[in-house]
Chains A and B, each alone.
Chain A
């Protein structure tokens, strides 16, 4: 079981220097545009932009290759599933049918379907770099501070940063428990039958969850002793003020957002139809 979980990577780059608030807002704008639009032109511009930003961030491809492989496998599977379930979805959306290859029954291949599935794939490719960049270049404590700065209650911010802080610890607990149970002869591999595996999984979950409940008690007592939550506001050790670069970035992304929305929706549909 390798430790394949993404986390903050310390580098010196213009992206790392931006304040966490800026990155959070840009990430939210970015993913909502990618969610809303189906316009190929907008998606292509966003894709190129995100690749450029990725280059700027000095994150290497090998740092994230394990995630990329999972994502690509998922995308491939998703595309196959879409085609199997609805080979005429593109024809329905774009209202025309240019057949490339005649198949069996409704399973022919049309340009419309290819174009539609290419757009779906593009949507993912646009979001992935933005989300990865956000996670890789924002320090967890700064993330909590930024959540608070965009208007979310600081208590929720603390909950999120607690989660990020304790993921490695709980992962360690999990591994210890799993190994202990395996030395006792509990088999977690697929050699066991489903019902037996279910039982074996529970034998890991119970200690993991009960030790976490203890953790909750200890941490909340410690926070209570330090009078957490006494005031409506709090200050953040790791909050950074907005610099010129931040304001500039925010302005650009706001302009991009409006432009993307206008281009996408000016003709009343969010699909760009080249046919």
Chain B
């Protein structure tokens, strides 16, 4: 991984992490269930993972979430930070087939993006987050599994709605490949 990080990826990690912190701090939508918000930051993370690839996605998750925790709470909840890394990394890895740079984001790409994000987030929030909570913090199992499930559902909605809209908006700004036609 070292050495072959492009400058653009490094800057994307830095700026991405900063945007993640700001979104996490100022832009969450309460769902009405106590302590459960729709996190816009997760949608942004998925968006960046598709645009800049798995390394950028994973590191934006890691650095952004850790900085957000430490700047807002004064302490880092490592188990959930790790899940953010996992989500950024694997959405980036599996969404590579979506050629967003060529402006291709139709029904087929929307479906494959959402299948990927749902699978990755189900593993992340429903399994990984609670397991790490138990291993690291020895919290009661039923509590952390409930928390994980609630966070998972709201984050899947967040990425599914906001993430998809962001990607579609981005694809519109790109020039489609093969968009030129030869005049007769």
Q: Is the CB of A128 within 8 A of B21?
A: no
Q: For chain B residues 131-184, which have a beta carbon within 8 Å of chain A? A: 136-143, 146-147, 161-162, 165-166, 169-170, 173
- Complex CA distance for A206 and B173, rounded to whole angstroms: 12
- Residues in A with CB closer than 8 Å to B3 are 153, 232
Q: How many B residues, CB 8 Å from partner?
A: 62
Q: Is the CB of A163 within 8 A of B14?
A: yes
Q: Is the CB of A81 within 8 A of B143?
A: yes
With contacts A71-B74, A220-B7, A223-B7 taken as known, whether A159 is within 8 angstroms of B14 at the C-beta atoms is yes
- Residues in B with CB closer than 8 Å to A202 are 162, 165-166
Interface status of B91 (Cβ within 8 A of chain A): no
Interface status of B110 (Cβ within 8 A of chain A): no
- Complex CA distance for A55 and B103, rounded to whole angstroms: 56
> Tally of A-B residue pairs with Cβ under 8 A?
192
Q: Is the CB of A194 within 8 A of B7?
A: no
Q: Is the CB of B76 within 8 A of A174?
A: no
**Interface SS of chain A:** helix
User: Which of B75, B76, B78, B161 has the most chain A CB atoms inside 10 A of its CB?
Assistant: B75
Chain B, Cβ-Cβ closest to A134: B70
Chain A, Cβ-Cβ closest to B73: A71
- Residues in A with CB closer than 8 Å to B2 are 153, 155
Q: For chain B residues 1-59, which have a beta carbon within 8 Å of chain A? A: 1-3, 5, 7-8, 10-19, 21-23, 25-27, 29-32, 35, 38, 40, 43-44, 47, 51, 59
Partner-B contacts on A (CB < 8 A):
1, 5-7, 31, 35, 38, 64, 67-68, 70-71, 74, 77, 81-82, 84-86, 89, 93, 120, 123-124, 127-128, 131-132, 134-135, 153, 155-156, 158-167, 169-171, 174, 178, 190, 194, 197-198, 201-202, 204-206, 208-210, 212-213, 215-217, 219-220, 223-224, 228-229, 232, 270-271
